[in-house]
Chain A
Amino acid sequence: MDQYHNFTLEDFLWDPFFRNWVLKPTREDEEYWQNWLTANPEKTGTVRSARELVLSIAPLQAPLPQTEKENAIRQIVGNIKNEEELDETASKLRLFQPLMSIAAVLIVIAGLSWTFWTVNHKQEINYEALVSATATPLIEKTNQDKEPLLIKLADGSIVKLDPGSKVSYPAKFEPGKREVYLSGKAFFDIAKDPSRPFFVYANEVITKVLGTSFTVRSFTDEKEVSVAVKTGRVAVFTRKDPEINEKKDSRELTGVVIEPNQQIVFVRESIKMTKSLIPSPELIDNNVTTYDFEFDETPVSHVFSELQKAYGIEIIFDKNIMNECPITAKLSEMTLYEKLDLVCKAVGASYELIDGRIIVEGKGCKNI
């Protein structure tokens, strides 16, 4: 079976049996190839090259710390165990089934009357309530088309309203502030005017900006409200915020401030806001610099600073350690995460996304 005799370097490279010997050798493989090499000594160089190539070429791996994996597995198994316990209690309860159904009916009745009570007594924060509570007359635009609807506001700001959404705004803004109300999803490109902050009221969430572009998504029947920034900075807070007035009146952006490529998701039920990165961060628009992401023996700390500038996302790393690591790479055609994967891999570091920022950990390059 000596097909290997005529093999070129490339043939070896893609031969499953050869790859397997290199990557996961068994005793039989080892024996076979040692014998073969003894019989074909002229092939030693080619086999050595092919072996090294097989070892060196691999798909890029995303870092998955052992603890993170263990936690994930524990969670899955924990879920199963919980379910089994529930099943057991459920089968025990089946004995009391007639009693249970009566109890269930009672609970449903109690639940219904509680709902009625809350609807009547607690003011729900939604688009209709907010719009009807304003003093100034508002124009309402509803998008019933399939395409986004472009609306130009009095101050030159532009709203791109998604289908099934509506927005209310005054024909002319008040002197000190600009306020609009949103139900559904829209992209805002706000004209810069630091003396008149711009507010978007979307159910429980208030977004305050000075001049920037961002998207708000807030459908009445959905559980979450989200705000994602394309350019500039926006502040987000909730109507229940105890310091709401200070935050609204302040000349600066206070509260949770999000920046390009970050988003805030507000879970309406638990009134919880979390900050994270959007799924695919983009280069931030500024016409001043263009980045080629080509590095030649550049300290990796400089690479991180460059990425931080280009994507407007904070990257935290230990400057002292990372200064020692030089890197040569061309990263232009990759997404942010691919760039990070590659750079981190090259210097034996790993990164995590925490709170809308990127945190890099590594031991430096003294030993590499």
Chain B
Amino acid sequence: MKMITSNIQQEEREIALWREMLAGNVAPFESLIDVTYDLLFQYGNKFCRDRELIKDCIQDVFLEIWEKKGSLNHNIPPKAYLLASLRRRLHRMMQKNRMLFLDHLLPDEGFDIAFHAEHQFIQTENDQQIASRITHMLNGLPKRQREAIYLKFFQDMDRDEIAAIMEIHPQSVSNLLQTAFKFLKTQWRSIVSLLLFLRFVA
């Protein structure tokens, strides 16, 4: 299959900034924060709704990287490394907060992403229905499958990167994605037949 060029370019830019940052330059470090901040914030938001806590954790992640810049690997893709660090730190902080606050009031935390469909992009009503049903299916997946799907299809992470971020074995990533797709496929069949039926009666 053909390579994904635009992502490669973006990734190359991030790696370049990463290396310059490791060499101790503040300006590329600032650019690196700038190009990754939205992603980190959105990802953090899927675990925790406290924006201040997320921003604090992102800050800590970057400050720690700056502190350890002498000992960090030059050749790793920075995006996956940043996401993994943020995930770990957020979990730690939330565990601490859970003890601090009203444990009985807090629902079960975890990666909680919701997908939605923006209907303005879609011309036909039929496709709008499909879009709504797909988002509904996605939102019905278990949290970990949703996280794997999110990282793979919406953040262009490969299997090993997802494994590093979620702290699981690469094989488990494949399994999560496979299970998710098996589910989507079966659901999909019922959607398609339903829509065909609807079109037929209409």
The interface of chain A, by Cβ under 8 A from chain B, is 1, 9-10, 13-14, 16-17, 19-20, 24-26, 28-29, 32, 48-49, 52-53, 55-62, 64, 69, 72-73, 75-77, 79-81, 187, 215, 217, 226, 228, 230, 263, 278-280, 282, 334-335, 337-338, 341-342, 345, 353
| Interface residue B71 (Cβ < 8 Å from any Cβ of A) | no
Top 9 closest pairs, chain A to chain B, by CB: A56-B121, A62-B45, A24-B6, A55-B121, A337-B49, A52-B122, A60-B114, A56-B118, A26-B6
Q: Which residues of B contact A217 (CB under 8 A)?
A: 100-101
CA distance A226 to B105 in the complex (A): 15
CA distance A20 to B2 in the complex (A): 11
| New A-B pairs, 20, CB < 8 Å, besides A52-B121, A60-B115, A69-B38 | A10-B184, A20-B7, A49-B124, A53-B131, A56-B122, A57-B116, A57-B117, A59-B113, A59-B115, A60-B116, A62-B45, A72-B55, A73-B30, A278-B105, A279-B48, A279-B106, A280-B49, A335-B49, A341-B114, A345-B116
CB of A175, distance to nearest CB on chain B (Å): 32
Given A79-B59, A278-B101, answer yes or no on A16-B4 (Cβ-Cβ < 8 Å): yes
Q: Which residues of B contact A342 (CB under 8 A)?
A: 114, 116
B33 touches A58 (CB 8 A): no
Residue of B7, B37, B117, B154 touching A69 (CB-CB under 8 A): B37
CA distance A32 to B4 in the complex (A): 12
Given A24-B6, A59-B42, answer yes or no on A76-B114 (Cβ-Cβ < 8 Å): no
8 Å CB interface, B96-126 against A: 97, 100-102, 104-107, 112-124
A19 touches B153 (CB 8 A): yes
CA distance A338 to B113 in the complex (A): 9
Chain B residue, CB-CB nearest to A56:
B121
CA distance A341 to B62 in the complex (A): 27
A72 touches B59 (CB 8 A): yes
CB of B5, distance to nearest CB on chain A (Å): 5
9 contacts between A and B (CB under 8 A): A16-B4, A56-B119, A56-B131, A73-B33, A79-B63, A80-B29, A278-B102, A280-B107, A335-B112
CB of B59, distance to nearest CB on chain A (Å): 5
B5 touches A28 (CB 8 A): yes
CA distance A342 to B50 in the complex (A): 17
Residue of A20, A29, A56 touching B117 (CB-CB under 8 A): A56
A226 touches B100 (CB 8 A): yes
CB of B43, distance to nearest CB on chain A (Å): 10
Residue of A32, A60, A77, A335 touching B113 (CB-CB under 8 A): A60
Residue of B46, B59, B112, B117 touching A75 (CB-CB under 8 A): B59
8 Å CB interface, B131-182 against A: 131, 134-135, 138, 150, 153-154, 156, 181
Q: Which residues of A contact B7 (CB under 8 A)?
A: 20, 24
Given A52-B127, A53-B134, answer yes or no on A230-B116 (Cβ-Cβ < 8 Å): no
Given A52-B123, A76-B63, A279-B106, answer yes or no on A58-B154 (Cβ-Cβ < 8 Å): yes
CA distance A16 to B127 in the complex (A): 20
Task: Pick the most buried of B51, B106, B112, B113: most chain A CB atoms within 10 A of its CB.
Answer: B51
